[in-house]
Amino acid sequence: MPRVITILINGEPALVYDAEQRLPARQRRFLDEMDAEMDGRGAPGRPPGPWERARWVANELIAALQDRRDAVVWAACAWLADRLPDLEQIRATGQGEEMVIELIRAGGGR
């Protein structure tokens, strides 16, 4: 069975991303640049961990889906698929500032 990441917004499917697609070198470098940008967001002297980064990226993904910013959607999906190989679903519920986002791992873990 192919590996996909399903994104649900308020229980409705918003996107199914093919997490097995190969990324060209240029896109892989962009993912590394995303990581470098996030390094400064952690506590002083401690870069954020992978799940903290994933929450930031997932927040950007949901906002980009709602705003129809396709380039951001695909970059966020590629980052999540590459950096979190056990991620299988993102659930966003609510609206605007009240949006709650859950990252669901294979086997149902969070």
pLDDT at 18: 95
Distance CA 75, CA 80 (A): 9
Instruction: Tell which residue, 77, 103, 106, has the closest CA to residue 91.
Output: 103
Mean per-residue pLDDT pooled into runs of 10, the chain (110 residues):
91 95 90 87 74 92 94 94 94 90 82
- pLDDT at residue 110, rounded to an integer: 62
User: Looking at the 3D structure of the chain, how many domains does it have?
Assistant: 1
- Stated pTM of the model: 0.87
Element (H, E) at 55: helix 50-67
Q: Which domain holds residue 64?
A: 4-108
